[in-house]
């Protein structure tokens, strides 16, 4: 029996040539990762984003511990006055509840997607996006309140001037991630609702979107602990 054209006379496989070889080289990454290309790239992106957020938070902690001026008290800076009563961290608690709850709806969306229930999955993704939008809206209100009180990236009437630059930079960068995630979820949800993934019988994109959203929620836990509780 003759040896196949992709093997040597000793039955030792040799690399394919031409277009087949080029496509095989490009596709070999999927075999190396042992997961889908999309999921692998999302994990790599999240790993790089972890380094960026880590640098920001470490820089914040360094400034916080080395500044010679008094750091503003979070319970006073982030308080709301309702009916003449000052409620510390009320807005932050609602924001956090909304974002953490969105992780639960996103997890349920992934579960429904893998069960081929595209309508409930899309509905839960819309709910997740709505909670994310509410979070960004409350964050914009928080920013406007601090700006009205005179807090700027270069000055702060409540204490250390570094507070403004650290707060606006880190929470703004996170808010940008949440906003991008809302657009991402809405795009996937609309395509899911229209049956785009039904034709390919591949709903992994919902899980990939979920990985991004859970990462955004996890980062907020660290921001919440360092900015509002420390």
pTM, full prediction? 0.83
| Residue-by-residue pLDDT tens, the chain, 230 positions | 444 444 444 444 445 566 666 555 555 555 555 677 888 899 999 999 999 999 999 999 999 999 888 888 888 888 888 877 888 889 999 999 999 999 999 999 999 998 989 999 999 999 999 999 999 999 999 999 999 989 998 888 888 889 999 999 999 999 999 999 999 999 999 999 888 877 666 788 999 999 999 999 999 999 999 988 88
Name the CATH architecture for the domain at 36-229. Answer: Up-down Bundle (1.20)
The whole-number pLDDT of residue 211 equals 96
The domain limits of the chain are 1-34, 36-229
If phi > 0 it is left, if psi is from -120 to 50 it is alpha, else beta; for residue 58 that is: alpha
Q: Which two tokens stand for residue 12?
A: 């030792």
Residues 6+ apart with CB under 8 A from 44: none
SS3 (DSSP) at 135: helix
The whole-number pLDDT of residue 81 equals 81
Residues 6+ apart with CB under 8 A from 16: 6, 24
Residues 6+ apart with CB under 8 A from 140: none
**Cα separation of 203 and 83, whole Å?**
49
**Cα separation of 218 and 67, whole Å?**
28
Q: Which two tokens stand for residue 210?
A: 């979920």
The whole-number pLDDT of residue 89 equals 87
Residue 195: name the closest of 110, 119, 106 by CA. 119
**Cα separation of 185 and 206, whole Å?**
8
């Amino acid at each position: 029996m003759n040896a196949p054209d992709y093997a040597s006379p000793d039955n030792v496989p040799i690399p394919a040539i031409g277009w087949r070889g080029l496509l095989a080289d490009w596709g070999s990454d999927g075999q190396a990762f042992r997961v889908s290309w999309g999921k692998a790239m999302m994990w790599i992106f999240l790993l790089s984003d972890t380094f960026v957020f880590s640098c920001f938070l470490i820089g914040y902690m360094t400034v916080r511990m080395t500044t010679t001026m008094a750091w503003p008290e979070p319970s006073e800076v982030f308080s709301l006055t309702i009916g003449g009563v000052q409620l510390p961290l009320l807005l932050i608690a609602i924001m956090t509840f909304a974002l953490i709850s969105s992780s639960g709806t996103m997890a349920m969306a992934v579960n429904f997607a893998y069960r081929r229930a595209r309508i409930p999955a899309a509905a839960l993704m819309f709910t997740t996006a709505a909670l994310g939008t509410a979070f960004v809206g409350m964050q914009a209100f928080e920013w406007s309140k601090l700006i009205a009180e005179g807090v700027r990236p270069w000055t702060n009437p409540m204490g250390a001037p570094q507070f403004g630059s650290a707060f606006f930079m880190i929470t703004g960068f996170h808010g940008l991630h949440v906003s991008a995630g809302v657009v991402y979820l809405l795009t996937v949800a609309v395509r899911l609702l229209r049956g785009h993934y039904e034709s390919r019988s591949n709903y992994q994109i919902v899980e990939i979107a979920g990985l991004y959203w859970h990462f955004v929620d996890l980062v907020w836990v660290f921001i919440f602990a360092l900015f509002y509780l420390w």
